[in-house]
C-alpha cells in the first residue's frame, strides 16, 4: 500500500545542545577535514561566500555525492548553504534545499538551530526518512564537537603520590 500523501511545507527544524564552543561547531560545519570526520567520507570546502562544499559518501559499492554553495557566513554564529543532493534513493533527482545553521552561545556550550528548507516532500514516509536522517546527523555532529572540545582542553599535570 503506498504511503499516504499529506501536504507539507518542506521545512524541517531541529535544535541540539552541544557542550562545545561556537568556534568548534562552526569549524565542524565548514572545515573539510572536520566534515570528513563526522559527516561524510570525503569533503572539499571553500568556506567563503560563493565558495563550494562537495561531499562524498561510500555506501557499499555505491558512491553518493552532494554539493553546496556557501551563501552566508557569520563566523562563528551562522552558516547558510544551498545544497544539491545528487541521488538519494526515494529523494533522488538533484533535490535543492537551503540549510541554515544558527549557533548561539549558552552557559555550558552552545545551541545549534538547524533549518532545512526544500521542496515539499511527496509523502509522510519521505518526510519521516529526512527527519530521522537529521537526528542521526546532529547526533554525529554533537559527538564530534564534544569529543574535539574535550581533547583540546589542557590536562592537569600528573603528580605521583608522595
d(CA 77, CA 110) in angstroms, rounded, equals 10
Which pLDDT score, from 0 to 100, does residue 159 have?
61
Q: Please state which CATH number belongs to domain 11-150.
A: 3.30.530.20
Contact 116, 99 (CB under 8 A): yes
List the one residue out of 74, 73, 82, 67 whose CA is nearest residue 35: 67
Sheet holding 78-86, edge to edge: 11-18, 109-118, 95-106, 78-86, 62-74, 52-59, 42-45
Which pLDDT score, from 0 to 100, does residue 152 have?
80
Mean pLDDT by 10 residues, the chain (162 residues): 51 95 98 97 97 93 92 98 69 72 96 90 79 93 96 69 68
Which pLDDT score, from 0 to 100, does residue 2 have?
39
Which pLDDT score, from 0 to 100, does residue 69 have?
96
Exposed / middle / buried, residue 53 (Cβ in 10 Å: 0-12, 13-18, 19+)? buried
Amino acid at each position: 500500500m503506498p504511503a499516504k500523501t499529506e501536504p507539507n511545507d518542506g521545512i524541517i527544524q531541529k535544535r541540539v545542545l552541544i557542550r562545545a564552543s561556537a568556534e568548534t561547531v562552526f569549524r565542524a560545519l565548514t572545515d573539510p577535514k572536520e566534515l570528513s570526520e563526522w559527516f561524510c567520507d570525503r569533503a572539499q570546502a571553500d568556506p567563503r561566500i560563493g565558495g563550494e562544499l562537495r561531499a562524498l559518501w561510500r555506501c557499499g559499492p555505491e558512491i553518493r555525492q552532494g554539493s553546496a554553495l556557501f551563501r552566508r557566513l557569520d563566523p562563528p554564529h551562522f552558516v547558510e548553504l544551498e545544497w544539491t543532493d545528487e541521488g538519494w534513493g526515494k529523494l533522488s533527482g538533484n533535490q535543492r534545499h537551503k540549510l541554515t545553521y544558527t549557533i548561539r552561545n549558552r552557559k555550558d556550550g552552545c545551541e545549534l538551530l538547524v533549518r532545512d528548507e526544500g521542496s515539499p516532500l511527496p509523502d509522510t514516509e519521505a518526510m519521516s526518512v529526512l527527519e530521522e536522517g537529521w537526528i542521526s546527523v546532529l547526533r554525529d555532529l554533537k559527538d564530534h564537537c564534544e569529543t574535539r572540545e574535550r581533547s583540546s582542553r589542557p590536562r592537569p599535570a600528573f603528580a605521583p603520590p608522595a
